[in-house]
Structure 1
Amino acid sequence: MIDFRYHLVSLISVFLALAVGIALGAGPLKESIGNTLTGQVDQLRTEKDQLRAEADHLSSNLADSRDAISALTPSVLEGVLGGRRVAVVTLGEVDSAVVDSVGAAIQQAGGAVTAVADVTAAWTDPTRTAFRQSLAGTMITYLDPAPAQDAGADVELAEALAQGLSSTSPTDPNALSENAGVLLDLLTGDSGLVTVTSPVTQPADAVVVLAGPITPVDEAVPTLAPTATPSGSASPRPTPTETASPTDSASRKARLDAWAAISQAVQRRSAGAVVVTGEVADDSLVRTIRTDDALSKLLTTVDGVRTPQGLLAVPLGLADRIAGVVGQYGAGPQATAAMPDRTALPPIERVAAQPPAEPSPSPTESAASTGQG
């Protein structure tokens, strides 16, 4: 059994060790310890100053590179789209400044924005599944070509949006088809699945899909030039409806599946499409496309749209896709190249699919042509 003397010896040992340490620290080892600590502090301060100088140098180089890209952008983009009309579709939360900058880039590339369509959270709201299925059933009769019978509501709605933005009147290449107008009315009316900044009057040749989240950042979004809304109005674009935040993997997968269906539909029903984002997150649409063998061979993607190089890549990637080249561009995961090649499309020529029917001659004209009267 341990007695009191054992505890006493332990306490004495502790105090002796403490006393020896104090004596050595205040005596023979004082200068050595102090010099060592002072040297370490000086070294850390020097390293911090060096890292700060390197960071400032890199920031300056990055700013110079961005300025150079912005300065070269007008000449690089000139004539790239050859007069193509482009619809912009936003999925999820997308900063309005990014939408405006993309519109300006399209204009500088020789294109025109025909519509800005925001797909709302109602598109994937699980409480409205039955409503969307019913609406999709109504829309099938207006789709040409119609999707497969087992396509499902997501695909049918996606095809309806794509046709609504791109279908041309058979008698006027500068007007939407009648069915396209009906489809847009169904999507933007009481259903609330889509909102548009202004009435859509012209069909798009190609589509840019902005896949959120692309949120505001501290530094300004690169803007190439002021741009107006498709109708020519200078009024500001309304803030898009935010996408509901999924709380489980099933909700996230349902959202990505619906967004992927939209991306494929606009590619199928137009001359070409490009899917664009900011940062490539693990559960983002761009990451989903790039990691899927079938989708990555069909759809072109661009990341880093908030940077000058990313913004420049949007019209270039779209022109390449119209020309038949598929690529994954940017600095994010699974990108295959930093920038698309420059492909200048030939100016587009628009002709009616069928000439308007000539009016039948009146009875008087018929009689005159045969010499009767």
Structure 2
Amino acid sequence: MAPFRVAFDLLMINLRYHIVSLVAVFLALAIGVIAGTTVINDQVVKGLERSDATLRASLQKQQDSNGVFKSQLNLWESWGGTIAKQIEKDVLRGRTVALMLSSGVDGKIVSNVQNALTVAGATRGGTITFSTRWNFNDDTARQQLGSILGLGPAATAADVATQGADRIANRLDTPGDPNAAGDLLQALAQGGFIQVSDPTGGAFPPAGSLVVWLSSGAPNPSPPDGQFSLPLLRAMIEHVSIAVGEPMASADSLSDQIHGDAALNRTVATVDHVDTIPGVAALIAGLHDVATGLPAPHYGTRRGTTAIAPTP
């Protein structure tokens, strides 16, 4: 038994040794992993902190730069506003100006133009705003419009557009009460095709009124340029002086189409950046020129324009 006992004790000692060794190895590995992870985490954190500091510094630099640019822009706008008022001052005194707006014109543009007309000494002669119903591909709207114009249900889109342009041009050349029963403007307003604002409370538009047409520049304008707006302008230029304005980057440029029409290009002033201070001043100056019999100027940045804005 003694040799067996000794052998058994040696085996147990050897087994305990291996167990302790394995535990030591795993413990060392665990400590190494933890220590390594801590080092890596510290490096990652430090790297992120450096990146954050760099980004914050870059952001602050950009904000400072933006602040400088904003101050410069405010300075230029203030200076431009002063110059614009010199251009606009009293150039339309004694004249009445009616506005015609396609659907969706920015209200800020309308307000800026109205304020400029006041500076120019003009009297506001009311506003016609076209709705989104001027879609000649919509059978219901087209037939209703045709009925208002005295056309039958078989009238084509071209018939309705042509008749509409002629009838509206004739109506605007004959001042009358837009709320009177049977008046064309009253019928169009009731049908949801236009809205009429008449601050004069009398005959609209006042006799001898000039017209500012503001286009939204939308991709599918209402009313459509080719089918209606251009024919209406052609019908109106025989009796009234007109200036047309649209915002920069217009997807549908009425100004471009006017430049491509020989008769309109000679007689209708255009501005393709009426959403800017120089553009509003150019609109007033252009309206003044055509009202006094001068050739129609074309201001802006598109093809066919001659200058960004008039000079004082």
TM range (shorter): 0.5 to 0.7
Q: Which amino acid aligns with 2:194?
A: V
Counterpart-to-counterpart distance in 2, 1:40 and 1:335: 51
CA distance 1:325–1:83, change in 2 (3 Å): same
RMSD: 4.2
> Residues 241-270 of structure 1: CA distance to partner in whole angstroms, max 9, x if unpaired?
xxxxxxxx9x76973433343344444542
Aligned partners of 2:92 and 2:122 also within 8 Å: yes
Counterpart in 2 of 1:115?
126
Normalising by structure 2, we get a TM-score of 0.65
Say whether the 8 Å CA contact 2:134–2:223 is kept in structure 1. Answer: no
Contact 1:85 1:111 survives alignment (8 Å):
yes
Partner of 1:162: 169
Who is 1:152 aligned against?
159
1:259 and 2:229 are equivalent in the alignment: yes
What are the Cα deviations for residues 69-118 of structure 1, in whole angstroms up to 9, with x where unaligned?
22333322123235333221111023555434323312322333323112
Select the structure with the greater relative contact order (CA < 8 A; seq sep ≥ 6).
Answer: 1
Number of matched pairs: 264
| Cα contact 1:165–1:203 (8 A) shared by 2 | no
Larger Cα Rg: Structure 1 or Structure 2?
A: 2
Structure-2 residue corresponding to 1:311: 280
Alignment-mate amino acid for residue 290 of structure 1: D
Distance change >3 Å, CA 324–CA 193, structure 1 → 2: same
Q: Confirm or deny that 1:210 pairs with 2:214.
A: yes
**CA separation in 2, counterparts of 1:177 and 1:187?**
9
Q: How much has 1:329 moved relative to structure 2?
A: 1.9
1:279-321 deviations in Å (ceiling 9; x for gaps)? 5342x3xx25426751484554334544433332320232244
2:245–2:255 Cα contact (<8 Å) kept: no
SS state at 2:224 partner: helix
Conservation of the 8 A alpha-carbon contact between 1:91 and 1:119: yes
Write the distance in 2 (CA, Å) between the matches of 1:24 and 1:291.
Answer: 72
Task: After superposition, give the CA deviation of every residue in 1:20-59 in whole Å (9 maximum; x if it has no partner).
Answer: 99876655x7776655544333222211111111111111
**Secondary structure, counterpart of 2:183 in structure 1:** helix
**Normalized per residue, which structure has more helix?**
2
Match of 2:296 among 319, 325, 329: 325
- Structure 1 residue runs of 5 or longer lacking an equivalent are 1-18, 139-149, 168-175, 215-248, 344-373
Q: CA 1:129/1:291 → structure 2, altered by over 3 Å: closer, same or farther?
A: closer
Counting only pairs closer than 5 Å after superposition, residues 229-268 of structure 1 correspond to structure 2 as 255-257=224-226, 258-268=228-238
128 and 21 in structure 1: CA distance in 2 versus 1, 3 angstrom threshold: same
1:193-208 → structure 2 map (5 Å cutoff) = 193-198=193-198, 199=202, 200=204, 202-208=206-212
Deviation at residue 192 of structure 1 after TM alignment: 4.5
Shift of 1:183: 12
